[in-house]
Structure 1
Amino acid sequence: MAERLATLIGIYGLLGLGYQLVFGQLRGLNLAQGSLFGVGAYATALTAPHLGPFALLAA
């Protein structure tokens, strides 16, 4: 349970940092952000059971 929570915190933290960069610093609209987030989340979901606590390194 703690590994899942840590993975979710890492994923949403990276998503927030990405949106901060795109909208806050660059003041642009990037429509590919959602698809990249989806691919990263899917890859993390597939590798998390095999990597255990190192699942955040795969993201």
Structure 2
Amino acid sequence: MSLIKCHECGSNISTVARRCPSCGALSKTRFNRMTTIAAIVIAGLRDCGIARMVFT
């Protein structure tokens, strides 16, 4: 666990925090992690052919 700067207010927040305790902004680290996981899942679905059935 390390500290990063909040993109809204600049205060230090943990990399595992969902929101900044000072201003309540969503953590970009958490958002980026979720986006990466979603991309991996969609790529896996595409590779096995399921995405064609779901997304078309």
TM-score when normalising by structure 1: 0.42
> As a proportion of its length, which structure holds more helix?
1
- The structure having more radius of gyration, on CA atoms, is 2
Of Structure 1 and Structure 2, the greater strand share is in 2
Calculate the TM-score normalised by the size of structure 2. Answer: 0.44
